[in-house]
DNA sequence: GCAGAATCTGACCGATCGGTCAAGGTACCT
DNA sequence: AGGTACCTTGACCGATCGGTCAGATTCTGC
């Protein structure tokens, strides 16, 4: 018997499963999310999930892989360009847009990147993050610089998903406001300011 | 038998298990950590773990409960005191010391606080965090203010544990340096600065 | 209409999960 | 020696885990 729960759905099943899985992975955690839960949320059976994706790991890879691709492009462009304050400003804006456009994926590998080190796509993500850190902070960067960078990136990533937990339902932020605020705060942190050295 | 006056006192099993469990919970995740893993790491059997703690949840509660107690005291003192820049500066310093002294517990409920909402001690932690946010940010705080606060706290918490992942083995930070750097960065974010409003 | 590919599903597998229980070990008390 | 309170453990339980597989169903090109 066909279940018309998703019979009329024109969304491709694989995409739908990716989205549901990403929501679970980012909020509940990869290990804590079972294939059965993903299947239930998406309206499929567990077997169907494993038909579209060879394994739970492959599903994770498929869900956050594109975001890592974007991040690597972002990193490449930044490394190719200069490290002037102007270039940094452009990078910050693009980086915030990246965070907003891939918030679930970002939250997943930022929060769980250290516990999933044996998964290839996570290794790719960690490498990219380290690359960005190396690019922003010179080799002779001070501890303060490294802390500043880590606080900025991790804090920004956290605010996009978990931060919503601490807001009332009717006090949720507007994405446009969040974008502007994140750019402001990250600029304060990562751009040279009067009387402060960034390297 | 409570009193053991021998010079070399054995480590109490419950404390040892708490420590091992906390290391696992903070790095691998609560759901992803099995009682068997904890038992193996501590050199006990799974049954012994469940002898000292009624359940996996009770073990979590026992492991991060004291940190939440400290956080609540910290919050209470700050609320009782003023919100002057000087009071904020004192709070920031105490907060950083709290983070350094409870880094594993903090990392656990900051990163997983949203996925463990049904556990009492986690609810307590979330309430405390929200209380701190309300105290630092006035009701009429701008979006930028909220973002700044969230980035600061989440970023700082993340840097203490996960941040170590992105450092080479022989380039680890010194705690004294980290303390000073965190105070610097958090002060930049949360204290009123020239030409910028904090509320 | 029909063949074949694509999709979906329930039954099933070995492993592991959190948790229970009774038996045994050990140290100190009288 | 017995008693007893504390500690540790293996055997065991039902449930669920990720994953396999054969078969039923739907879709598509001819």
pLDDT digits (tens, 9 = 90+) for A47-88: 999 999 999 999 999 999 999 999 999 989 988 887 788 888
How far is it, in rounded angstroms, from Cα A46 to Cα A38?
8
Q: Which strand (E) or helix (H) includes residue A88?
A: helix A85-101
Closest CA to B64 of B128, B156, B155: B128
- Residue B88: what pLDDT? 87
Domain ranges of chain A: 13-56, 64-190
**CB-based contact, B60 to chain A, within 8 Å:** no
Q: Which strand (E) or helix (H) includes residue B120?
A: helix B120-136
Mean pLDDT of chain A: 83
How far is it, in rounded angstroms, from Cα A65 to Cα B47?
41
- Give A150→chain B minimum CA distance, Å: 6
How far is it, in rounded angstroms, from Cα A127 to Cα A131?
6
Which chain D positions have some atom within 7 A of a protein CB?
6-11, 16-22, 25-27
A8 SS3 class? coil
Q: With a cut of 50, say whether residue A31 has pLDDT above it.
A: yes
CATH classification code of B64-190: 1.10.357
How far is it, in rounded angstroms, from Cα A99 to Cα A194?
28
Higher pLDDT, B64 or A157: B64
- Residue A138: what pLDDT? 67
Higher pLDDT, A5 or B196: B196
Alpha helices in A28-55 (DSSP H): 35-42, 46-52
- What is the spatial distance, in angstroms and rounded to an integer, between the CA atom of A164 and the C1' atom of C2? 55
Nearest-CA residue of chain A relative to B150? A159
Dig out the tokens for B97 from the structure.
């010391």
In percent, the amount of chain A with pLDDT more than 90 equals: 42
A114 SS3 class? coil
- Give A192→chain B minimum CA distance, Å: 13
- Helix, strand, coil percent content, chain B, rounded in steps of 5: 70, 0, 30
For tokens 């419950």, the residue is B14
Nearest-CA residue of chain B relative to A139? B171
- Report angle CA A27, A108, A25 to the nearest 5 degrees: 45
B194 vs A contacts (CB less than 8 Å): 194
How far is it, in rounded angstroms, from Cα A183 to Cα A94?
9
Higher pLDDT, A177 or B133: A177
- Residue B183: what pLDDT? 93
Closest CA to A35 of A59, A16, A3: A59
CB spacing of B115 vs A162 below 8 angstroms: no
- Helix, strand, coil percent content, chain A, rounded in steps of 5: 70, 0, 30
CB spacing of A115 vs B32 below 8 angstroms: yes
In percent, the amount of chain A with pLDDT more than 70 equals: 83
**pLDDT band per the 50, 70, 90 thresholds, residue B163:** low
A residues 15-54 closer than 8 Å to B (CB): 27-32
Enumerate long-range contacts of B6-14, CB under 8 Å, 24 or more apart.
B13/B44, B13/B48, B13/B52, B14/B52, B14/B53, B14/B62
Dig out the tokens for A139 from the structure.
């080799």
- Residue A8: what pLDDT? 40
Q: With a cut of 70, say whether residue B7 has pLDDT above it.
A: no
CB spacing of A115 vs B148 below 8 angstroms: no
Higher pLDDT, B194 or B145: B145
Shortest-distance nucleotide from B58 CA to C1': C18
Across the range A84-105, mean pLDDT stands at: 91
**pLDDT band per the 50, 70, 90 thresholds, residue B68:** very high
Across the range A88-96, mean pLDDT stands at: 92
**CB-based contact, A123 to chain B, within 8 Å:** no
- Report angle CA A116, A119, A124 to the nearest 5 degrees: 100
- Residue A24: what pLDDT? 93
Length of chain B: 199
- Residue B199: what pLDDT? 43
CB spacing of A31 vs B28 below 8 angstroms: yes
- Residue A107: what pLDDT? 87
How far is it, in rounded angstroms, from Cα A141 to Cα B181?
12
CATH of A13-56, one of 3.40.50.1580, 1.10.10.60, 1.10.1200.10, 3.40.50.300: 1.10.10.60
pLDDT digits (tens, 9 = 90+) for B166-188: 666 666 677 888 899 999 999 98
How far is it, in rounded angstroms, from Cα B96 to Cα B84?
18
- Count the neighbouring beta carbons within 10 Å of the beta carbon of residue B137: 18
A144 SS3 class? helix
Across the range B153-167, mean pLDDT stands at: 75
A158 vs B contacts (CB less than 8 Å): 110, 150-151, 154-155, 158
A166 vs B contacts (CB less than 8 Å): 126, 129-130, 133, 150
Across the range B18-30, mean pLDDT stands at: 92
Dig out the tokens for B17 from the structure.
């298990």
Shortest-distance nucleotide from A52 CA to C1': C7
**pLDDT band per the 50, 70, 90 thresholds, residue B6:** very low
Shortest-distance nucleotide from A14 CA to C1': C7
- Residue A9: what pLDDT? 43
How far is it, in rounded angstroms, from Cα A16 to Cα A7?
13
pLDDT digits (tens, 9 = 90+) for B76-91: 998 888 778 888 899 9
- Give A128→chain B minimum CA distance, Å: 11
Across the range B193-198, mean pLDDT stands at: 51
Q: With a cut of 70, say whether residue A45 has pLDDT above it.
A: yes
Dig out the tokens for A161 from the structure.
């998903």
Q: With a cut of 60, say whether residue A30 has pLDDT above it.
A: yes
Across the range B135-139, mean pLDDT stands at: 70
Q: With a cut of 80, say whether residue A137 has pLDDT above it.
A: no
Q: Which of A16-30, A127-141, B132-146 has the highest mean pLDDT?
A: A16-30
pLDDT digits (tens, 9 = 90+) for A151-163: 888 888 888 776 6
- Residue B76 half-sphere exposure, CB side, CA atoms within 13 Å? 6
User: Is B143 buried (19+), middle (13-18) or exposed (0-12) by CB count in 10 A?
Assistant: middle
Find how far residue B158's CA is from the centre of its chain: 10
């Amino acid at each position: 018997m066909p279940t018309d729960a998703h019979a009329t759905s024109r969304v491709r099943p694989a995409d739908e499963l990716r989205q549901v899985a990403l929501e679970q992975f980012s909020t509940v955690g990869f290990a804590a999310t079972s294939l059965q839960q993903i299947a239930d949320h998406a309206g499929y059976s567990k077997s169907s999930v494993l038909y579209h994706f060879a394994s739970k790991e492959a599903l994770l890879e498929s869900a956050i892989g594109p975001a890592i691709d974007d991040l690597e492009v972002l990193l490449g462009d930044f490394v190719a360009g200069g490290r002037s304050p102007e270039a940094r400003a452009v990078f910050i804006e693009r980086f915030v847009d990246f965070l907003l456009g891939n918030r679930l994926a970002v939250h997943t590998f930022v929060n769980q990147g250290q516990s999933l080190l044996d998964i290839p796509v996570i290794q790719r993500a960690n490498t990219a993050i380290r690359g960005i850190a190396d690019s922003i902070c010179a080799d002779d960067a001070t501890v303060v610089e490294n802390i500043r960078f880590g606080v900025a990136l991790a804090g920004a990533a956290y605010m996009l998903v978990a931060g919503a937990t601490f807001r009332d339902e009717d006090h949720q932020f507007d994405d446009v406001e969040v974008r502007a605020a994140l750019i402001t705060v990250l600029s304060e942190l990562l751009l040279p300011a009067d009387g402060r050295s960034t390297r």
